[in-house]
Amino acid sequence: MIVRMDRKPAGGKLLRIELEAEEGRVLRARVRGDFFAHPEELFEAAEAELAGTELARASETALGLFSRPGLVLYGASAAGIAEALGEAARALAAR
């Protein structure tokens, strides 16, 4: 199953979340929107490392991954991304 949602966290720019899951685990996560991440490779690695995460832990795991040293976000925060991914995960778990 896939869920797509747009969210604008307080103090942040628009986030477009696409989360795909199967059997209670993340298969793929994409975070796009009106923000920049540097270096992009670290951001993409954080997205990829969400694969396999239990939906119930998606927000917590995302917070750690998008807070990693060396990853700088402009117009978004790790907390805002984690919150949006957590909301998407809860929507998938409820289906």
- CATH code that applies to domain 2-93: 3.30.390.50
The pLDDT confidence band at residue 95, using thresholds 50, 70 and 90, is confident
Q: In the predicted model, is pLDDT for residue 87 greater than 90? A: yes
- Confidence (pTM): 0.95
Residue 76, judged by CB atoms within 10 A of its CB (0-12, 13-18, 19+), counts as buried
**pLDDT (tens digit, 9 = 90+) per residue, 4-58?**
999 998 888 999 999 999 999 999 999 999 999 999 999 999 999 999 999 999 9
Helix, strand, coil percent content, the chain, rounded in steps of 5: 40, 30, 30
pLDDT (0 to 100) of residue 12 = 86
